Structure 1
Amino acid sequence: MTTSTTAVGDSRGGRGSEDPKVSVVIPCFQAQSTIALQLASLSDQVDAPPFEVILVDNDPAQHLDEAVADFLHSSAFELRIVRAHEHQGSSYARNVGISHAHAESLQFCDADDVVSRTWVRNGYLASQHTELWTGESILLAEAPFSDGLETVRREFDASPPEWTAPADKQTGPFPVLMAGNFGGARSTLLELRGFDQAFAHYGDDNDLAFRARRAGHRVPVAESVRIGYRGKWSAKQRMRRGFHDARAKRRLLIVHGVSSQSPIPPWPIDITRCLAATILMPFRRSVSPFDIAMRWSYALGNACGALRFGWPRTAPASTPGLGLNPPSAHHDDPPKGTMTA
């Protein structure tokens, strides 16, 4: 793995010489227009333990240093930028972030969302109760994000949630973990070999949840660890997301051997049902052309996943742990304000 690190800020965590209790990892791809809002939400945390923020630059074309210039000397946290240009994908980026984290307690969020005022505190408390947890997301429209942090916060964080212990609600065969709002022990994520770059953009979080459960770890839901999730609302975005989600879900079912337990039908049945729905659409006023288009996006994604990943000769190999070559005890981090290759 080849990475470089820019360490910025006057002192560790903005808290004098205090070591961070939490490392916040944020993968950044085309994030220059959104990352400042997320960093602003991390700057006004309530009752947070000392924490650092690691931005994993996964896009050589973005100007991440310029986008975060206002946070270089934050009094709330130490900000570090880790370059991870060798492979593109959030799985690889998060693994690189894990490698460079100083704290044992890790929390993950995305560059285009907003965390609640108590996100770091409640996530840290959750990590004291369980080795892995997944948080709560409030889906929001795009508009509030254009109007600034306080507008977004009014939408989902007017009354910051009180701390409640993570609840082990996931008793079914399909555990869910949301990569844009989760956390846990660094040692556990290293044990699990982090994320699988074979999933890269879709399904990597739920793949981690499957592997965690197989290794004997629970994936409880920490409802008090809350974010405002920026929804993608255009028809093109929703259809693209539907296709890739269905494709990744079919791959998960195949990789983890649980296809027979899934309510998702085999792809020939799925396609047949879509054809029938398309033919009957003129006679069903409650069904719009967009509804049919979305059904086709899921059905085609399901078919693509089955045909691409259901044959051992054509399915790409899994690559968990790519990017997890940890710096030796983190003693190779450069002095503040320098960069090493």
Structure 2
Amino acid sequence: MSFKFSVVIPTYNAESFIEEQLQAVWGGTLKPDQIIISNNGSTDNTCSVVQKLQLTIPVLEIVDSSAMQGVNYARNVGIIHARHEHVLICDADDIVASTWAQKMIASLSAYDLVGSGHQELVYSDKLSTYVQERVVIDQPKVFANQKYLLGGNLALRKTVFETLGGFDCSYRGGHDEVDFCLRASRLGYTQGWISEPLIQYRQRVSDKALFKQFYNYGRTWVQLALNFSPDFNEYIPSFKLMARKLAVTLREYLLSRDKSRARLQQLSWDLGRLYGVFVYRSLGQKPDRVLVDR
């Protein structure tokens, strides 16, 4: 059985990538009945690129999601504008496989939420382009083996989104999709997983961008645990223990000749967790939830 479905693409300053992604979505083995570009205040030529593509992709629409900065708000606005119960979400700078929509929609007939594996695209300075690297086919987990799906590669029923109040916009930089999936699971909604790389996922290019990304991951990891307190309290270290751990990580990074991206990720992750433990837990200043009004 086939369903009419919408594809939502949260977008911010993606003029360099959006055409490739849209051509991949529209050129797949199952064509969407609606494609929504949720424009989160782009200041480049993203909208101009999309408007030109509307001439050849008749189901392509642009909606304004600039009222609040952030991918979660852009997703929420896009899904609100979706005309169909079955919704797929992908990111503007990734590339979906030709069978992405077909396989995700087929799995959505049996589950409430569906995700899949991915292949990483890493920028090569030597080649001045992105190259294919690691393939990930295992479903990600957090804390006590809690399964979740990636927000940039997600199929869902719109009724699930409406029941949950959408993605929590208080998360800035990570763990928003984990929060969404945990809330869904607690209400009895089911997750499906396709163990195939149905999307190519572009990784951060610069060390600065990578550092910021994993710092945010560490900070929002603490936010996530506290939002589900007391269930995951045991995973949050004390400030004293986290400070000691960061000191060890920093010393190892500075003294080692190995300045790999993996070491940089660990350093920024620990720094973000230290911030989260101190501000969100010790000071009690965890951000309040920001959901869609129901």
1:203 aligns with 2:195: no
2:110 aligned partner:
129
Q: In structure 1, the residue corresponding to 2:25 is in which secondary structure?
A: helix
What displacement does 1:29 show?
0.9
2:34 aligned partner:
52
1:215 aligned partner:
187
Q: 1:41 to 1:250 in 2, by over 3 A?
A: same
Q: Which amino acid aligns with 2:247?
A: L
1:191 aligns with 2:172: no
What CA deviation, in whole Å up to 9, does each residue of 1:184-219 have, x standing for no partner?
A: 111111111110111143221111011111111122
What CA deviation, in whole Å up to 9, does each residue of 1:96-126 have, x standing for no partner?
A: 1111101111000000000000011111101
What CA deviation, in whole Å up to 9, does each residue of 1:227-260 have, x standing for no partner?
A: 0000113211211111110001111011112434
1:120 aligns with 2:101: yes
Q: Structure 2 matches for 1:212-251, cutoff 5 A?
A: 212-224=184-196, 226-251=198-223
What displacement does 1:85 show?
1.5
Q: In structure 2, the residue corresponding to 1:125 is in which secondary structure?
A: helix
- 5+ residue gaps, structure 1, are 1-18, 157-165, 325-341
Q: Structure 2 matches for 1:279-294, cutoff 5 A?
A: 279=251, 287-288=258-259, 293-294=264-265
Q: Structure 2 matches for 1:319-330, cutoff 5 A?
A: 319-321=290-292
2:232 aligned partner:
259
Kept in 2, the 8 Å contact 1:122–1:225? The answer is no
CA distance in 2, matches of 1:261, 1:173: 14
CA distance in 2, matches of 1:62, 1:45: 27
Kept in 2, the 8 Å contact 1:232–1:238? The answer is yes
CA distance in 1, matches of 2:259, 2:23: 40
Tell me which structure has the larger Cα radius of gyration.
Answer: 1
Q: 1:20 to 1:82 in 2, by over 3 A?
A: farther
CA distance in 1, matches of 2:54, 2:211: 38
1:65 aligned partner:
47
1:82 aligns with 2:79: no
CA distance in 2, matches of 1:128, 1:61: 38
Q: Which amino acid aligns with 1:34?
A: F
Q: 1:107 to 1:196 in 2, by over 3 A?
A: same
1:35 aligns with 2:18: yes
What displacement does 1:49 show?
4.8
Kept in 2, the 8 Å contact 1:33–1:67? The answer is no
What displacement does 1:318 show?
0.5
RMSD: 3.1
What displacement does 1:312 show?
7.4
CA distance in 1, matches of 2:158, 2:176: 17
1:295 aligns with 2:243: no
Q: In structure 1, the residue corresponding to 2:93 is in which secondary structure?
A: coil
- 5+ residue gaps, structure 2, are none
Kept in 2, the 8 Å contact 1:168–1:218? The answer is no
CA distance in 2, matches of 1:146, 1:38: 19
Of residues 316, 332, 339, the one that matches 2:287 is 316
Q: Which amino acid aligns with 2:102?
A: R
Q: Percent identity?
A: 24
1:174 aligned partner:
146
Return the structure number with greater relative CO, CA threshold 8 A, min gap 6.
Answer: 1
What CA deviation, in whole Å up to 9, does each residue of 1:71-106 have, x standing for no partner?
A: 21235x500000111111111111111111011110
1:92 aligned partner:
73
CA distance in 2, matches of 1:310, 1:179: 26
What displacement does 1:40 show?
1.4
Q: 1:173 to 1:245 in 2, by over 3 A?
A: same
Q: Which amino acid aligns with 2:278?
A: L
Q: Which amino acid aligns with 1:220?
A: G
| TM, length-normalised to structure 1 | 0.74
1:8 aligned partner:
none
Q: 1:240 to 1:200 in 2, by over 3 A?
A: closer
More strand by share: 2
CA distance in 1, matches of 2:39, 2:264: 35
Moved more, 252-261 or 90-99: 252-261
Moved more, 61-70 or 30-39: 61-70
Q: Which amino acid aligns with 1:35?
A: I
